[in-house]
Amino acid sequence: MATHGTIQRPSTVAAPTTPTGRPEDSTGKTLDDFRRPEFRLVCPLSIPSSPEAASLRIIQNLTHFALYYTHFVWIVLFVTLIPQRKVSLILLVIMTYVTSLYLLLLRACPANFHLLHKIIDKRIVLGLIVMATMIELIATKAGLHLVITLAATVPLVLTHAVLWVRNDFCVEKWGGGNGGGGGGEESVPLVDESTEIV
């Protein structure tokens, strides 16, 4: 409270400097410690080097981004059904609700509940729901909308899956045992297999 109402004037004493001659602040750090790192633009897209690398990248990206790809296709199908096919749109929303309830039931049940996790495979049930949705769309005369949507979105999804380089795994050079020579190395993907897609 002793300085309340008074005006603080800057000190006439020069700021202490480091042995290198750079000015130092009160915390003992130089101005170089506070410089921001360089901005680098990282492009996560690249063309795979071989067909094997492309197929590996497609499989990994389809499993990693499956929910996003499904939402993309669903949104495009939803938008194409809005103007003309109201009944098909309602059935699509109902089947989406059924799928969401099934996935929530899977998450709510403990892992040792064998009926849902071991006997009835999730992929089979989701495949059956997709087939039932397609049959409902065809039965309500929205099959053309479904075909056009799949023809427009599947190439985009596959293109993204081929070109996207995921950041959560890396490729490491692994020596092939040529006595330290550079010719026996191969690229080995390091993938964390402990994560599981729901």
Contacts 24+ apart (CB under 8 A), 116-119: none
Q: Which residue has the tokens 């799949």?
A: 150
Give the tens place of pLDDT for each residue, 11-68.
Answer: 666 555 555 555 555 665 666 666 666 766 677 888 888 889 899 999 999 988 988 9
Helix (H) or strand (E) holding 190: strand 185-190
DSSP state, 109? S
**pLDDT for res 22:** 58
Q: Give the residue-averaged pLDDT of 155-171.
A: 79
**pLDDT for res 146:** 93
Radius of gyration of the chain (CA): 29
Say yes or no to pLDDT of 145 above 90.
yes
3-state secondary structure 151-189: HHHHHHHHHHHHHECCCCCEEEEEECCCCCCHHHEEEEE
Give the tens place of pLDDT for each residue, 76-122.
Answer: 999 999 988 889 999 999 999 999 998 888 888 777 777 766 777 78
Rounded distance, CA 149 to CA 72, Å? 10
